[in-house]
Amino acid sequence: MADRNFISFEGIDGCGKSTQAKLLAAHFSTEDQEIVRTREPGGSPGAEAIRELLLTGATDKWSAETELLLFTAARRDHLEKTINPALATGQMVICDRFADSTRVYQGATRGDLRAKVDQLHEAMIGREPDLTLIIDVDPKIALARGLARNSGEDRFEDFGLEFQEKLRAGFLKLVQEYPLRCHLVDGNRPAEAVFADVLALAQP
Ligand SMILES: Nc1ncnc2c1ncn2[C@@H]1O[C@H](COP(=O)(O)OP(=O)(O)O)[C@@H](O)[C@H]1O
Ligand SMILES: [Mg+2]
């Protein structure tokens, strides 16, 4: 699976990213093939500490610019400490959110920041997943699923339904922007049906 070693899942809160990432990791995991399942923001001790700063507290805790710097710092640490070392030793990496989430969230909150998102990505990250699966779900369904988790990490979910609709539109646009890397999966179905599509796209 030479060109499918780094796979990311994207989509709004509660669309089923973690569920599908888990299923895919379990599917590909064998004695010879180790799978690193990770997530953003976070995925390394330093980045997890930044995650806590980002996902808890009031919605106006950070300016959009500060938030972008924190996400980028967390991603850089995640890449250095977790993703790159795993890929270097031939492990497959399955990541719950990556740079596309920053593109979409920042685009939804402050569209004029997209150029800075791209500049920071270029300067500090410079890496895309080999394959990105965007799980598309009706925000009403996703929000109900997401809030049902009650994780305490609901700062973004607290932005409300209208915000989730904006995010959904942003993720749909990404498929047009990166047609070779990003693929849409209909997530408005039972997890097993969604996974059948995920698997078809992720097969080497
Ligand atoms: N296809 C699905 N149909 C119904 N419920 C689902 C589906 N996929 C995930 N769920 C449930 O919805 C909630 C959110 O799913 P999760 O995978 O954590 O989403 P995300 O990681 O995208 O926020 C979880 O409680 C999960 O068990
Ligand atoms: Mg998740």
Residues 81-100, mean pLDDT to the nearest whole number: 97
How far apart (Å, rounded) are the C-alpha atoms in residues 37 and 67?
Answer: 24
Contacts 24+ apart (CB under 8 A), 180-183: 181/128, 181/129, 181/130, 181/131, 181/132, 182/10, 182/100, 182/132, 182/134, 183/131, 183/132, 183/133, 183/134
Residues surrounding ion ligand 2 at CB below 5 Å: 17-18
Average of per-residue pLDDT across 123-128: 97
- Ligand 1 mutation target, pool 15, 19, 141, most atoms within 8 A of CB: 19
Ligand whose nearest atom lies closest to the CA of 39: 2
Query: What confidence tens digit (pLDDT) does each residue in 23-54 have?
Result: 999 999 988 888 999 999 999 999 999 999 99
Residue 11: pLDDT band with limits 50, 70, 90: very high
How far is 36 from 38, CA to CA, in rounded Å? 6
Q: What is the pLDDT of residue 111?
A: 80
DSSP E strand stretches across 43-160: 92-96, 131-136
Residue 2 has pLDDT above 60, yes or no: no
- The alpha carbon of 15 and the centre of ligand 1 are apart by a number of angstroms equal to 6
At residue 81 the predicted structure's pLDDT band, cuts being 50, 70 and 90, is very high
In three-state secondary structure terms, 15 is coil
Residue with tokens 């599509």: 197
Cα(37) to ligand 2 centroid in Å equals 12
Q: Check if CATH label 3.40.640.10 holds for domain 6-202.
A: no
Over range 176-194, report the average pLDDT. Answer: 97
Instruction: Tell me whether strands 92-96 and 182-186 are parallel, antiparallel or unpaired.
Output: unpaired
Taking the CA of 157 as reference, the closest ligand is: 1
- pLDDT for position 159: 65
Ligand 1 contact via 149 beta carbon (within 6 Å): yes
Q: What is the distance of C-alpha 65 from the center of its chain?
A: 19
Residue-averaged pLDDT of the chain = 91
At 1 the pLDDT is 41
Percent of the chain with pLDDT over 90: 73
Give the nearest ligand 1 atom to 148 CA. 25
Rounded Cα distance, 67 and 178, in Å? 24
Per-residue pLDDT of 160-181, as tens digits, reads: 788 889 999 999 999 999 999 9
Q: Answer whether residue 134 shows pLDDT above 60.
A: yes
Q: Which of 132, 126, 93, 133 is nearest to 1 (CA)?
A: 93
Query: Higher confidence at residue 164 or residue 135?
Result: 135
